[in-house]
């Protein structure tokens, strides 16, 4: 992780508490392209909610903000709709979202010393995109981090849930096969590639990519989880790098 002492001075020294009730402008700028990239996926889920036969529409809609994770929501929705039982659905959700455990461990220092309510509730916003965005701003801490994290989580969730609900209302009229569907993938490419300029990021990325490719036939995105774990494993076994 690239610590930037300059950024810490610039940003950390600002009297952010005075304006703690407003949205963080930097956060809005960071998260907007990410949020927009999720519009196609949110639309797909909205249409799926509208077309489900044995899951009431309001239950499907409730899952959007409550689960706050598209793949798990889609899996839970379609499995339940085809008559799968509670344990099957929970097992699938567990596998799909297992990497959130890794994110939680990695982002924990940012939550250290935060108020109790924040430590219990704010992790709800933890997803691939929010973790990565927060990771790009290592200098934020205390109230500044709370403001940044809250803004990113609310804007992302707002666009996500808003689009989903709009698609529920419009139903099959929503196009789900536009080239925009690539946007979600492109965001992850845009988040990954600049990191590869740092030599230290290349080994975990390359290893994870190869293993994820080999393990890709596994069901429920298990290949993704196995690949990610493989990428982190050498650092654990070899004791990791010394932080500079």
Using CB under 8 A, which residues numbered 154 to 183 contact other proteins? 156-157, 160, 176-177, 179-183
CA distance 187 to 46: 21
Q: Decide: helix, strand or coil at residue 64.
A: helix
CA distance 147 to 229: 31
- In the complex, minimum distance from the CB of residue 21 to other proteins, in angstroms, rounded to a whole number: 24
CA distance 80 to 74: 10
Which helix (DSSP H) or strand (DSSP E) does residue 111 occupy?
helix 99-111
Only one of the segments 5-13, 15-23, 164-172, 201-209 lies at the binding site for other proteins (rule: CB under 8 A); that segment is 201-209
CB–CB of 123/111 below 8 Å?
Answer: yes
User: Which of the residues 71 through 130 are near other proteins (CB under 8 A)?
Assistant: 71-74, 76, 80, 86, 89-90, 93-94, 96-109, 111-112, 119-120, 123-124, 126-130
CA distance 83 to 121: 32
Lookup: tokens for 237: 């076994």
With respect to other proteins, which residue has the nearer C-beta, 19 or 240?
240
Instruction: Write the CB contacts of 169 (distance below 8 Å, at least 6 apart in sequence).
Output: none
197 lies in the site for other proteins, by CB under 8 A: yes
46 lies in the site for other proteins, by CB under 8 A: no
- In the complex, minimum distance from the CB of residue 180 to other proteins, in angstroms, rounded to a whole number: 6
Mark residues 134-153: x for contact with other proteins by CB under 8 A, - for none: -x------------------
- In the complex, minimum distance from the CB of residue 15 to other proteins, in angstroms, rounded to a whole number: 27
59 lies in the site for other proteins, by CB under 8 A: yes
């Amino acid at each position: 992780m690239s610590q930037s002492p300059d950024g810490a001075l610039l940003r950390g020294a600002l009297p952010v508490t005075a304006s703690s009730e407003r949205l963080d402008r930097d956060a809005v700028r960071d998260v907007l392209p990410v949020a927009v990239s999720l519009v196609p996926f949110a639309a797909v889920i909205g249409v799926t909610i509208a077309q489900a036969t044995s899951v009431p529409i309001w239950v499907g809609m409730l899952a959007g903000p409550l689960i706050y994770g598209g793949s798990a929501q889609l899996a839970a929705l379609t499995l339940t709709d085809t008559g799968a039982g509670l344990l099957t659905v929970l097992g699938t959700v567990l596998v799909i979202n297992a990497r959130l455990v890794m994110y939680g461990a990695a982002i924990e220092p940012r939550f250290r010393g935060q108020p109790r309510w924040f430590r219990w509730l704010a992790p709800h916003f933890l997803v691939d995109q929010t973790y990565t965005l927060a990771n790009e701003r290592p200098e934020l801490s205390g109230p500044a981090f709370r403001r940044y994290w809250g803004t990113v989580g609310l804007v992302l969730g707002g666009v996500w849930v808003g689009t989903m609900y709009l698609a529920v209302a419009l139903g099959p009229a929503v196009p789900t096969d536009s080239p925009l569907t690539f946007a979600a993938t492109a965001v992850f490419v845009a988040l990954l590639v600049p990191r590869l300029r740092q030599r230290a990021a290349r080994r975990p990325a390359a290893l994870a990519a190869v293993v994820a490719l080999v393990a890709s036939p596994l069901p429920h995105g298990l290949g993704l989880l196995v690949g990610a774990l493989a990428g982190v494993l050498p650092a654990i076994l070899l004791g990791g790098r010394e932080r500079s």
